[in-house]
Amino acid sequence: MRNLPDGNSAEGAAAGAAAPRRARIRPARLAARVAILATAAYVTYATMMWWAQERLIFPRAFDHHPDAGESPPSGVTRVSLRMADGAEGVAWFSLPGAQAAASLDGAADLRSATPAGSAIETPEGARVAAIRHPAVVYFHGNDDLIDTRWVVAARHRDWGCAVLTPEYRGYGALAGDPSEAALVADGVRWIDWLAAREDIDPTRIGIHGLSLGGAVAIQVAGKLAERAAAGGGGSTLPQARWLVIEATLQSMDRIAHERYVPAFLLRHHFRNDRVLPRIGIPVLLLHGVHDTLIPVDHARQLHAVSPTSEFVELDCDHVSWTNEWPRIERFIRAANR
């Protein structure tokens, strides 16, 4: 058996002195190890966020809802439309009820008559002047479907407005992959379809969006304004008449920043803060002060850059909305005059 060194001997003293030095980790080396581990953890987190961003931004596209949008309620039409890239689009559409339309004080309120000479034929064969209704295009949130939000969108019919609620590609039974570019292009296509109808006033098409739908609404309105400007002062291309934006984001870049993700990793930016100031139409911004998903400061910043906007802070969070429909109705009636 090997003899261990005696601590009282010179050899033992040397061994005893060497042991603590071997176990000691220098502060600089410790800091370097911590920095390496922290960097590796952050890179892993950022990589996961980059990979999963579509699941986070468009979560319903990864659920299976084969029957969604297929069975609209009574009085609502399911519309199928081919998008610019050949993809199939689906929306629910409804004209206002006869009682709601008749309750308005003639064409000077929300409705407008068609141009002279335009008429429709009744089942009895009589020809009467057609009425062109104002319309609302409603874009729902990222965790909704048109089935789940129709009851909200349909409130606009009470004021004599036609309502169109497009579904996002990849949602429900629709094929395809949702993206910022695709959703905005599809929204423009739906408004062109709506404006071409003989029973719709193409100069009174407003857009209402909730959460992600608010970002889509702003981007669509921006594309319409940009396209009309490129067509010259005499352009008859449809534009948005007004915007109602609920609980939406200043930009996806800011959302990423708040979650410690660099914006260059994003594939969908939704720079609403850059688009909204260029539109120049009436905008109503509504946002809950207790919203933790999209903090209220997003709406405050959008209001700050939009001289035509009205901003209302609500005592609620992202989803528990108070009844603001009377305010929305007053805003739309004023904007449509």
Which tens digit of pLDDT belongs to each residue from 243-259? 999 999 999 999 999 99
Mean pLDDT, the chain, rounded, equals 85
| Residue-wise pLDDT tens digits, 84-123 | 999 999 999 999 975 454 444 333 344 443 343 344 443 4
Picking from 132, 134, 172, 131, the residue whose alpha carbon sits closest to that of residue 150 is 172
C-alpha distances out from residue 14 to 2, 9, 208, 263, Å: 18, 9, 81, 57
Neighbours of 50 (CB within 10 A): 15
pLDDT band at 68 (very low <50, low <70, confident <90, very high): confident
* Residue-level pLDDT at 3: 54
CB 110 within 8 A of CB 336: yes
Q: Which domains does the chain have, with CATH numbers?
A: 58-336 (3.40.50.1820)
Number of C-alpha atoms within 13 angstroms, CB side, residue 220?
34
Does position 280 have pLDDT exceeding 60, yes or no? yes
Q: Say what the pTM is.
A: 0.83
Neighbours of 106 (CB within 10 A): 10
Q: How many helices (H) and strands (E) does the chain have?
A: 10, 11
DSSP code of 309?
Answer: E
CB neighbour list of residue 133: distance below 8 Å, 6 or more residues apart: 95, 96, 101, 110, 111, 160, 161, 162, 199, 200, 201
Gap between the Cα atoms of 125 and 223, Å rounded: 42
Gap between the Cα atoms of 335 and 281, Å rounded: 9
| 162 φ, ψ (degrees, to nearest 5) | -75, 155
